[in-house]
Amino acid sequence: MSLKKIIAAAIVSSSAIIAGTASAQTIGFSQVGSEGDWRPAFSANMQETASDYGVDLKFANAQGKQEEQLRAVRAFIAQGVDAIIIAPVVVTGWDQVLQEAKEAEIPVFLVDRDVDVEDKSLYVTRISADFNLEGRLAGAWLAAESLGDCKIVELQGTTGSAPAIERNGGFQAVIDQFPAMEIVATQSGDFTTEGGKRVMEAFIKSTNNLEGICASFAHNDNMQLGAIQAMKEAGLNPGEDVLMVSVDYVPAIMDAIAAGDANASVELRSAVGEFIYPVILDYLENPRELDKWIVIPSDLHTAN
Ligand code: GZL
């Protein structure tokens, strides 16, 4: 379903609410957690816009633990909600609980992240950005900036999460085109500022103060912000001696780019309730096969 159709559906569903003809839908939302800056913004948008669509949102924050997500989804099933939204912390371990939702005839919508399940009928659709594209955009920008010659340190997101797997995949696919571009060190900072700082401190130690390192690619801005802290504490110049590219484009990285401490970030939209709710409400009105993935655009931002 194109974004245009989603927005058209939004107009239909919101006018129905204004006209008072639509009944409130109860939707359970199992959210990964509240790590970093992007996820809280995403959660706030979902919670603040729910009433615009006449949705009674039951929000469950799993604090990064899959077992808490599974518990929340089972509670939504027991409550008999009209639909379930899941932002799955990692791709594996979802088959059983999705089967239980299917048997309870409660439609499941994936948002943000992804699951790795054989049976795609276990969810209606996934509404998210294209993480592989985000990795490619970051890789292409770096290839241009470094003229295809760059030794890179990579700060990976949560191990086993779709964004970590796919941002690395997209980035690697681009730099593989350039024999002189290579990721020489990679480690997970779990999408947090503290994690990014810890990983960069380790890289600084293992590379003799980032000797010969041309760039830092971080799967999200928060880890890059932690890396910037670590580099400055080591007397290095992030954004000048080392090119800094990451993903999310949260306000704090905008400030870092403006200050010259970072160079580029691929935007991951956090105000996505306007895409997610219309798809779900439209489906509940008219259940049918949907495309398995509805993509939200990503754009690269730099200083100039
Ligand atoms: C990607 C999202 C990632 C963000 C991070 O869609 O799942 O999780 O890039 C967040 O900031 O932790």
Q: Is residue 302 part of a domain?
A: no
What CA–CA distance (Å, rounded) separates 207 from 260?
23
pLDDT of residue 91: 98
Question: Pick from 31, 246, 45: which is nearest to 156 by CA?
Answer: 246
Does one domain contain both 135 and 188? yes
pLDDT class for 10, splitting at 50, 70, 90? low
Same domain assignment for residues 142 and 108: no
Same domain, 262 and 135: yes
Most informative mutation of 39, 113, 295, 298 for ligand 1 (most atoms within 8 A of CB): 39
What pLDDT score does 106 carry? 98
Q: Is 267 in the pocket of ligand 1 (CB under 6 A)?
A: no
| Mean pLDDT to the nearest integer, 65-87 | 98
Is 303 within the bounds of a domain?
no
| pLDDT given for residue 116 in this prediction | 97
Q: What is the pLDDT of residue 17?
A: 53
210 and 281 in a single domain? The answer is: no
What is the Cα–Cα distance from 39 to 21, expressed in whole angstroms? 33
Residue 14 resides in a domain: yes
Q: Is residue 136 part of a domain?
A: yes
Pair 140, 119 in one domain = no
pLDDT at 304: 81
CA distance 144 to 222: 24
215 sits in which H/E element:
strand 215-218
Residue 65 lies in domain: 3-129+270-297
The yes-or-no verdict on residue 257 having pLDDT over 80 is: yes
| Half-sphere exposure (Cβ direction) of 266: Cα atoms closer than 13 Å | 28
Q: Which atom of ligand 1 is nearest to the CA of 162?
A: 7
Residue 304 domain flag: no
Contact 282, 127 (CB under 8 A): no
Q: What is the pLDDT of residues 15-50, one digit of tens each?
A: 555 555 556 899 999 999 999 999 999 999 999 999
pTM, two decimal places: 0.93
Residue 37, amino acid: D
- Whether residue 137 lies inside any domain: the answer is yes
3-state secondary structure of 43: helix
The ligand 1 atom at the shortest distance from the C-alpha of residue 87 is 7
Model confidence band, residue 53 (pLDDT cutoffs 50, 70, 90): very high
Domain count, the chain: 2
pLDDT at res. 67: 98
Residues 260, 139 share a domain: yes
What is the distance between the alpha carbons of residues 299 and 285, in angstroms, rounded to a whole number? Answer: 32
What is the reported pLDDT for 274? 95
Share of the chain above pLDDT 90, in %: 92
Helix ranges (H only) for the chain are 3-18, 38-49, 66-79, 95-103, 131-145, 162-175, 193-206, 221-233, 251-259, 273-285
Say yes or no: 135 and 124 in one domain. no
* Ramachandran quadrant class, 239 (left: phi over 0; alpha: psi -120 to 50; beta: rest): left
Ligand 1 pocket member 37 (CB < 6 A): no
- 248 CB near ligand 1 (under 6 Å): yes
Residue nearest to atom 1 of ligand 1 (CA): 163
Q: Are 45 and 91 contained in the same domain?
A: yes
Read off the pLDDT of residues 154-184 as tens digits, 9 standing for 90 and up. 999 999 999 999 999 999 999 999 999 999 9
Q: Which atom of ligand 1 is nearest to the CA of 38?
A: 11
Residue type, 193: T
Laid out side by side, the sheet with 215-218 consists of 180-188, 149-156, 215-218, 243-248, 264-267, 299-302
Mean pLDDT across the stretch 234-259?
Answer: 98
Best residue among 245, 268, 294, 295 to mutate for probing ligand 1's pocket (most ligand atoms within 8 Å of CB) is: 268
| 244 pLDDT above the threshold of 60 | yes
Q: How far, in Å, is the centroid of ligand 1 from the Cα of 269?
A: 10
Bridge partner list, 77:
none
Lowest mean pLDDT among 20-29, 36-45, 116-125, 247-256: 20-29
113 CB within 6 A, ligand 1: yes
Does 288 lie in the same domain as 245? no
Residue 157 lies in a domain: yes
* Interval 262-270 mean pLDDT: 97
Cβ pair 122, 86 in contact under 8 A: no
For residue 90, the domain's CATH number is 3.40.50.2300
159 plus 102 within the same structural domain: no
Ligand 1 atom having least distance to the Cα of 112: 6
Tell me: do 75 and 13 sit in the same domain: yes
Query: How confident is residue 111, by pLDDT bands cut at 50, 70 and 90?
Result: very high
